[in-house]
Each structure stands twice: as C-alpha cells, then as structure tokens.
Amino acid sequence: MLQRPLPIWQAPMAGVSTPEMAAAVSQAGGLGGISIGHLDPLKARVVVQQVRDLTELPFNVNLFCHRAPVADPRQEVAWLETLRPHFQRYGTQPPAALEPAYATPGPEVLQLLLDLKPAVVSLHFGLPEGFVAPLRAAGIYVVATATNLQEAHLCRQAGVDALVAQGIEAGGHRGCFDPSAADEGLSTLVLVQLLKNLGLPVIAAGGIMNASGVRAALQAGASACQLGTAYIACPESSAEPAHVQRLLHDPPPTVMTRAISGRPARCLQNLFTAIEGPVPDYPTAYTAGKALYAAAKAQGEFGYGAHWAGQGAPLARSLPAAELTRELAP
C-alpha cells in the first residue's frame, strides 16, 4: 500500500479538483488528486506540472478509461429533439450534431504519464489496454476503480497495485466497466468486504464525509478512504458557485442519471435529471449536456448543471482542504 501519514485520498474530480487542492491535501498528510481525463494531452501536462510545482509529495492523476462511443445518428438526432424545447426556453437551438466531448486515452497520454511519473495513476471506467504494465514498470502506483467483484478480478488480473471500491453512494460517474450492464448497486461497506480478501489494498469510496465514516470503512477492511463530495465546497475547489451553494444550503436528494453525460452518475436532483429520452453514448451525450447548461446559465438558470454529489451531500462543509483532511483523520 502506498504509505501516507493519513488514510485520506481526495477524489480526483474533473471540474472540481485543482492543483491547489491536490497539493494542499498531500501537504496535510493525505493523497491529493487531479483528473486529466477531460483534458487534451497538452493541457494535461500543464496541470500535472502545476501540482508538482506546489508540492514534492505524492499525488494521484486520474484517467477516464471509457470505451470509444458507438455513433448512432438516429439516437443522437432523437436526443437533440428531446432537448430542443429546453434550448428554446433560453433563446437558442441545440447543436446540429454531436461529437464526443473528449477522447479515450491513447499512446500520447501514456507517454505523458511515463514522462511526468506521478506517484499514483488511477483508472476509472475500465482498464485501457497496454497501460498498466508500463506504468508499473516506471515505478508508478496504479489504482483502478471497481464497482463489483467481477470488475475487481479483472483489475487484479491486469496487475494493478490497489482497488478503489466505489459504492453506489458515491457522487459523480459510476466507474462501471460496462454502463449497459445491470448494476448490482453495492454499497461501499459491502463492496469493501467483498474485495478485501483479493490480496490488494482497498480504498473505500462513496458516502464517506467525516472521520466516523472513515473509521467505519477502515474497520470494514479498507486501507484508505477516497472522498470527493466532502471536498467540493473547499475554497481550493473549482466547482461553480451554484454547485457549492446547492450543496451547502439544504441540498436536494441525489439521483443517478445518464441524461447529462450518457453514463450513470450521481447528481443533485435538478432540471436535467428530470429529462428522459434516448441518451447517446458517453461522452457524446456530454456535448449536448454542456451546451444546454451554457445556454441556460447565460440566462441565469443553473438547474441544468452537472452538480455531481454523493448521498452524503447534506454533511458537506466549507473548510480549507488541508484542514478538512486533518479533520477526517480517524
């Protein structure tokens, strides 16, 4: 297990985590994290270097390892027509066509990681072919998300160093390998207990918001805990003010939705989560989601945002990332 003074990992959240947040968490004794899955390689290199400029301590770099989306023009047109009244409400029209919001990681991303050698690389949505062995050979600690026992076995067979056990309580995108398959919806504590005997360290993720939650996960067999929603309201966060305000002031229930991005993800209930229809593959659907939110936001409506949050959302606090990390210590 990667040794840190505190068993606290800050989840690498696209659109929320910043170099300042990651560095602050690592400096406080935990493991900070940033996501580069939504960035092109040039921007990703800059962000990783920004963290390195702020701390010499270990931090985690996360990749979205989704399969390339399958184009379905009929479905995409039908989805745009479903969204058209929502765009028109804010004086605009949906995009004429949809393209994936970002690419599946390829050789250029792998080379970037081998060049920069972050202490930890974490994989979400699956196991990209040809990544695990060269990363480990370079001395990088490789972690992969599993939402069930079958995915965990695949991760172990691929040779990863540790598993993130993502329970159904977790905010943001489910890390499931196949989003079209039935989801068991295992809770964090059940999943930790299922995975702890596989011979790999387990990092518990989902619904953990305070020191008592950390203690419960460690007692269940986790080696560390990864928290995301707990860090959204930190001053170092890049979450939009509307997201933070909804989180801190009587947040609505969270729901699992595909509508925003095309993949199941837990979000604060809002105008977007109420939309039903033929959602295209991830991340093609995300292009429409981002466009609709931009149109609505320009008119002062924030109810179409990707306000990801876990079931522990009502327990969120606004504390500096370093202070929160120390308070989370069991």
Assign residue 43 a region (left: φ > 0; alpha: ψ between -120 and 50; beta: otherwise).
Answer: alpha
DSSP 205: E
Helix (H, G, I), strand (E, B) or coil at 220: helix
Q: Is residue 289 in some structural domain?
A: no
CATH number of the domain that 120 lies in? 3.20.20.70
Q: How many CB atoms lie within 10 A of CB 327?
A: 14
Residue 298 has which token pair?
A: 């320009």
Scan for tokens 């505190």, then name that residue.
Answer: 6
Q: Which of 173, 172, 229, 227 is nearest to 205 (CA)?
A: 227
The pLDDT, as a whole number, for residue 294 is 96
- Residue 226's H or E segment, with its range, is strand 224-227
Q: Is residue 111 in some structural domain?
A: yes
Give, in order, the Cα–Cα distances in Å from 305 to each of 270, 286, 300: 8, 11, 12
Q: Is residue 224 in some structural domain?
A: yes
Q: Is residue 129 in some structural domain?
A: yes
The pLDDT, as a whole number, for residue 1 is 82
Q: For residues 118, 34, 146 and 64, what is the CA-based torsion angle, rounded to 10 degrees?
A: -100
Q: 130: domain range? A: 8-68+103-231+317-327
What's the predicted TM-score (pTM) here? 0.96
Q: How far apart are CA 268 and CA 283, in angstroms?
A: 20
Measure the CA angle with vertex 162, ends 221 and 175; round to 5°: 95
Q: Is residue 220 in some structural domain?
A: yes
Spell out the residues 6+ positions from residue 320 whose beta carbon is closer than 8 angstroms to its own: 24, 234, 235, 236
From first CA to last CA, the distance across the chain in angstroms is: 18
Q: Is residue 41 in some structural domain?
A: yes
E strand residue ranges, 152-210 = 162-166, 172-173, 202-205
Q: How many CB atoms lie within 10 A of CB 102?
A: 16
DSSP β-bridge partners for residue 141 = 120
Taking 50 as the pLDDT cut, the residues of the chain under it are none
Measure the CA angle with vertex 298, ends 293 and 299; round to 5°: 100
Provide the domain count of the chain: 1
Peptide bond into 283 cis (omega under 30): yes
E strand residue ranges, 74-192 = 120-124, 141-146, 162-166, 172-173
Q: Is residue 268 in some structural domain?
A: no
Q: Is residue 304 in some structural domain?
A: no
Percent of the chain scoring above 90 in pLDDT: 98
The pLDDT, as a whole number, for residue 102 is 87
